[in-house]
A and B are shown apart, each in its own frame.
Chain A
Amino acid sequence: MNYDFSEKEFTLFVDINEKMAGLAANGQLDRKDPAHNKENIKQALKQLAQTPYLKLGLQPVDGYQGQLSWMGAAETLAAVSPSAYLAVEASTRLFGRAVNEWGDSNQKSKWLTPLLEGNLIGALAISEETLNIENDPLTAQGERQGESVAINGAKQYVINAPIADWIAVAGTCDDAYALFLIEKEASGLTVEPAMETLGYDGTPISGIRLEDCRIPNEQVIFPPADIDMAEAIRMWENQILLGAGLGLSKAAYETARDHAKSHRSGGKPIIAYQEVGFKLADMLTLFQTSQLLAYRTAWTAETSPKEAGELLLCAKVFCAESAEQVCSEALKILGGNGYITGNSVERAYRCAKYVQIAGTSTEIGRVKIGDAALGYRN
């Protein structure tokens, strides 16, 4: 047993903070700013590529524990900039992870190498209008036509679609799961305008349409037949969202704590009042409990992946709901300051809802955890 991160891991967390602080100053990375969003994410990737961050969980890095080290680092990044975090992760640990796990060596050198060097932005499109919790068959479909494949379908809510160099589209081909790797300029690909969202303002997100979009066979990735691709991607999303939730809780808690210690009312700092100090205690309890649960989940995913599924769902539900509660309380502690648009707590509060909705929603998560306890499999 060991409940501590190593020196090396801590050093990485500090490094990420320092490398990102300038870019993220004044909430620059977290604004709706179509003219600059792409450049901002590129810059963030460049900074992170100077650290082991992008590789963690994908490739072995000396002295780090894969997903576990990543979870700690993810929390750091997601606290500095929720939007940049989500964009970086969609590129790295959705698009990149799919290529890493299922691509051949040519495909890896084509997409993964530039991605890990911070020279490529990826997106992974899976969600469809008809998709529901039980993973209905994907309707996006590729049809083989000699040396190429023609793809038809539509995807909604694709993170990074408006800024991605490459989009991996999840669908089927020859009655098997397949990922179609499509370049941004490909004919037959329409990227819809970026959506207006409640939070994650700096993460461009949109729907895409594919109408007879033709790609060469080398741009199709087939996961092994025994893998439920849609389920696997959901789990990756959940892991990313765990990090997102931790980051939001961290940012909101720390801002509220610092404010409560410095802001005075009635001659004392407001933390001296139980209505404020005890709220912070509850917030910290939720945050620290979330951390432990998320780290244990990441450790389990690293050491015995087969057992990680249920724990991941428990952690996802807990961290996502805790993040919203922590942000909500933090907002009250900031008083009027909190309600003014543009501060980190208000921003985190708006982002928090997404963490519950995306990936496995907290509703579906609870049903699945219940099913597991009952021995019902779906």
Chain B
Amino acid sequence: MDFAFTKEQLMFKKEIIRFAKKEIVPRVQEYDLNEAFDFESFRKLGDFGILGLHFPETYGGSGADVVTTVMAGEALGEAGVDGGLTLAYGAHSFLCADTILRHATEEQRQRYLPKLISGEWIGCMGLTEPDAGSDVASMKTTAEKKGDKYVLNGSKIFITNGPIADVAVVYAKTDPSQKHAGISAFIVEKGTKGFAAGAPLIKMGVRTSQTSELFFNNCEIPEENLLGKEGEGFNMSLQTVEWDRSALLAPFVGAAKYMLNSCADYARKREQFGRPIGKFQAVKHKLANIRIFAEASQSLAYKIAWCKDQGRPLNHLEAAVAKLFVGDWSIGPANDAMVVFGGYGFCHEYNMERIFRDSRLAPIGGGTSDIQKMIISKII
């Protein structure tokens, strides 16, 4: 075993933290309050190369490995970038663009990837439906082949980047009589007739990401927009799970480090009963909880990333363990961080309440904690 990062990786992480602290973090609070998407910061992520880190250079990417990609997510969280922006990045780069990279034709890749990687276009991925969340296979959206076109009907919900996306990867049933085997994946562009996004949903956390419904009403798309073959959709959605369990978890790991650093700074300065609150054991206890969570979750996320770099098929057991741990074990430390700040922790200005709210997505998005437990208990 060897847990070492390379020098280059560590330097790169520092660079991202510096960049994010300077260019993005000062804008986070305002956008969170306004529940607005920060297009400028998103473009900056593109300019810095983060949106396309693991993509081949031919499409404008950097060809980085998965560990480095996960590190970027961790660095953004550690710098203090909000969970909304990192979720938007995750849905865009991993759930949408990566699926195009893996399953689209060369022509399609040329058409979409450079623009997605630069951040000129924004991508989203539509899987969940109002009546099909955890039970994906019960989805009702259909794609019916008519001549050289597919006609989509149905709706999606909770779609990150839905209202602002230029291109969507959408899952629909080409064979409604089947469950998983009937699902296929398609590319749908903004402006396609019969395709519309709903208004942004008002959410507890990750507020700067825009989440909405997608509606398909006799939406006609060219047949070449089918990704791969009919019936392969479910497996494609499973591939994104690897990213879900590594790169999308990474910002939570980083956020824990951000909380730790912020709480330590605050506890050194804030005085009550004639001394810094950091001198009280109850406060140290909370800092320790945050640090332990950060160390534990870090190991889990990088292990999934490393396995992916080795080209191994996803170990569903370990992936579910990582997701479950970050989902269910993050609430304590996130709460501790808020409480260390006392009344200020409850107020927006000090960021802790935002991180707490953002972290509550962890046990829900991308497969709930219960679903992770279901996967684990079936495999063992």
Instruction: Kindly list chain B residues whose C-beta atoms are within 8 Å of the C-beta of A299.
Output: 1-3
CB <8 Å contact, B377 and A280: yes
CB under 8 Å from chain A, chain B span 251-300: 260, 263-264, 267-268, 278-279, 281, 283-292, 295-296, 299-300
Contact A365:B373 (CB < 8 A) given known A1-B2, A3-B1: no
Verify if A107 is at the interface (C-beta below 8 Å from B): no
Q: Residue on A with the closest CB to B4?
A: A1
CB <8 Å contact, A365 and B288: yes
How would residues 323 to 339 of chain B score, 1 for a CB under 8 Å from any chain A CB and 0 otherwise? 01100100000000000
Instruction: Kindly list chain A residues whose C-beta atoms are within 8 Å of the C-beta of B321.
Output: 284-285, 288-289
CB <8 Å contact, A285 and B268: no
Q: Residue on B with the closest CB to A299?
A: B3
30 intermolecular pairs with C-beta atoms under 8 Å apart: A1-B306, A3-B307, A65-B1, A271-B377, A278-B370, A278-B373, A280-B380, A281-B320, A284-B317, A284-B321, A284-B376, A289-B296, A289-B300, A292-B300, A295-B3, A296-B295, A296-B299, A300-B3, A310-B291, A314-B295, A366-B289, A367-B281, A367-B288, A370-B284, A372-B291, A373-B263, A373-B264, A373-B288, A376-B278, A376-B279
Interface size class of B (residues with CB under 8 A): 35 or more
Contact A369:B2 (CB < 8 A) given known A284-B376, A285-B324, A285-B376: no
Instruction: Kindly list chain A residues whose C-beta atoms are within 8 Å of the C-beta of B2.
Output: 1-2, 299
Contact A367:B284 (CB < 8 A) given known A289-B321, A373-B291: yes
Q: Residue on B with the closest CB to A295?
A: B1
The residue that B287 contacts in the complex, of A271, A300, A369, with Cβ under 8 A, is: A369
A-B interface, 9 closest residue pairs, ranked by CB to CB distance from nearest: A370-B284, A277-B377, A281-B376, A281-B373, A369-B288, A366-B288, A292-B299, A278-B373, A370-B287
Verify if A282 is at the interface (C-beta below 8 Å from B): yes
Cα separation A281 to B264 with both chains bound (whole Å): 33
Contact A318:B324 (CB < 8 A) given known A367-B281, A374-B284: no
Instruction: Kindly list chain B residues whose C-beta atoms are within 8 Å of the C-beta of A285.
Output: 321, 324-325, 328, 376
Cα separation A367 to B284 with both chains bound (whole Å): 6
CB <8 Å contact, A281 and B324: yes
CB under 8 Å from chain B, chain A span 258-274: 271, 274
CB <8 Å contact, B370 and A370: no
- Minimum C-beta distance from A246 to chain B (A): 14
Verify if B232 is at the interface (C-beta below 8 Å from A): no
- Minimum C-beta distance from B50 to chain A (A): 21
Verify if B38 is at the interface (C-beta below 8 Å from A): no
CB under 8 Å from chain B, chain A span 149-176: none
Find the residue from B286, B288, B296 having the highest chain A CB count within 10 A: B288
CB <8 Å contact, B3 and A1: yes
Cα separation A159 to B64 with both chains bound (whole Å): 51
Instruction: Kindly list chain B residues whose C-beta atoms are within 8 Å of the C-beta of A314.
Output: 288, 291-292, 295-296
The residue that A317 contacts in the complex, of B264, B278, B288, with Cβ under 8 A, is: B288
Instruction: Kindly list chain B residues whose C-beta atoms are within 8 Å of the C-beta of A68.
Output: 1
- Minimum C-beta distance from A94 to chain B (A): 25
CB <8 Å contact, A374 and B372: no
Verify if A4 is at the interface (C-beta below 8 Å from B): yes
Q: Which residues from chain B sit less than 8 Å from chain A, CB to CB?
A: 1-5, 67, 260, 263-264, 267-268, 278-279, 281, 283-292, 295-296, 299-300, 302-303, 306-307, 309, 317-318, 320-321, 324-325, 328, 370, 372-374, 376-378, 380
Q: Residue on B with the closest CB to A287?
A: B321
Cα separation A26 to B312 with both chains bound (whole Å): 40
How would residues 313 to 341 of chain A score, 1 for a CB under 8 Å from any chain B CB and 0 otherwise? 01101100000000000000000000000
Q: Residue on B with the closest CB to A369?
A: B288
- Minimum C-beta distance from A274 to chain B (A): 8
Contact A317:B292 (CB < 8 A) given known A289-B299, A292-B300: yes
Verify if A371 is at the interface (C-beta below 8 Å from B): yes
CB <8 Å contact, B288 and A1: no
Instruction: Kindly list chain A residues whose C-beta atoms are within 8 Å of the C-beta of B309.
Output: 1
CB under 8 Å from chain B, chain A span 88-146: none
- Minimum C-beta distance from A263 to chain B (A): 15
Instruction: Kindly list chain A residues whose C-beta atoms are within 8 Å of the C-beta of B291.
Output: 310, 314, 369, 372-373
Beyond A1-B309, A280-B380, A317-B292, 10 extra complex contacts between A and B, CB < 8 Å? A278-B377, A280-B376, A281-B324, A282-B324, A284-B380, A289-B325, A292-B299, A300-B3, A314-B291, A318-B292
Find the residue from A278, A281, A288, A366 having the highest chain B CB count within 10 A: A281
Instruction: Kindly list chain A residues whose C-beta atoms are within 8 Å of the C-beta of B299.
Output: 289, 292-293, 296
Instruction: Kindly list chain B residues whose C-beta atoms are within 8 Å of the C-beta of A38.
Output: none
Cα separation A126 to B108 with both chains bound (whole Å): 70
Instruction: Kindly list chain B residues whose C-beta atoms are within 8 Å of the C-beta of A257.
Output: 380
Cα separation A315 to B317 with both chains bound (whole Å): 22
Cα separation A375 to B284 with both chains bound (whole Å): 11
Contact A4:B380 (CB < 8 A) given known A278-B370, A374-B268: no
Cα separation A314 to B67 with both chains bound (whole Å): 23
CB <8 Å contact, A293 and B285: no
Instruction: Kindly list chain B residues whose C-beta atoms are within 8 Å of the C-beta of A292.
Output: 296, 299-300, 303
Q: Residue on B with the closest CB to A366?
A: B288
- Minimum C-beta distance from A286 to chain B (A): 8
CB <8 Å contact, A2 and B1: yes
Cα separation A15 to B286 with both chains bound (whole Å): 42
Find the residue from A2, A257, A373 having the highest chain B CB count within 10 A: A373
Cα separation A315 to B3 with both chains bound (whole Å): 15
Instruction: Kindly list chain A residues whose C-beta atoms are within 8 Å of the C-beta of B295.
Output: 293, 296, 311, 314-315, 318
Cα separation A367 to B283 with both chains bound (whole Å): 9
Q: Residue on B with the closest CB to A273?
A: B377
Instruction: Kindly list chain B residues whose C-beta atoms are within 8 Å of the C-beta of A281.
Output: 320, 324, 372-374, 376-377, 380
